[in-house]
Amino acid sequence: MNGYDEKTNQVLEEIREYYGSIPKTYYATADAGVLPRLWALAGVTFKTGAAEHEDKRICASVLAHTLGIQELLAAHLMILKRHMGWNREQFEALLQEKYPDRMNERQILFAKLAKTLAANPMDVDRDILTQLKEQGTSKEAIAEVVALHGFVRYMATFVSVYDIA
């Protein structure tokens, strides 16, 4: 793939398997030579299995929408549609904060947390965290969603700088 080293090509293939395609954000980090390290970091921060896969896709969608990352938003719409049975109307309702009936209370709380993290991490509503814990959500699952936010924010920042450099 595009003259990358073997490790980078392996990671790009893993990304293709994970997302169904390779978002350009990952090509930007591959071009800069940091993709294998970033993907390894992703594996130990937000792919640990502590949080439900659908919950993370919901959060990634909200983060992408709030931060204006259209390609990431489209990628997660496809994941929610193909693998979790979401339709366009449900996805639009999520983004408009008119949560569809298919979402449980934990997912709604995670969506609200993702929105706040994207807008300003310093403004996280402690009540949301308390409610998540009261529902039995582990601190590891919450940490995984927070780490997902950090990764998305980092990638968005990196790519925005890379695209103009």
Task: Read off the pLDDT of each residue in 16-25 and give the average, rounded to a whole number.
Answer: 80
The per-residue pLDDT for range 66-92, each reduced to its tens digit, is 998 887 888 888 889 988 999 999 999
Domains and CATH numbers, the chain: 6-47 (no CATH), 53-161 (1.20.1290.10)
Residue 165 to residue 157: CA distance in whole angstroms: 12
Q: Which residues, in sequence order, are CB contacts of 66 under 8 Å at separation 6+? A: 114, 115, 118, 119
Long-range contact pairs involving 99-105 (C-beta distance under 8 Å, separation at least 24): 103/58, 105/131, 105/135
- pLDDT band at residue 163 using 50, 70 and 90 as cut-offs: low
> What are the tokens at 5?
């080293």
The answer on pLDDT for 109 being more than 90 is: yes
Structure confidence at residue 165 (pLDDT): 47
Residues 22-53 pLDDT 10s: 877 788 888 888 899 988 888 777 777 889 99
pLDDT on residue 134: 97
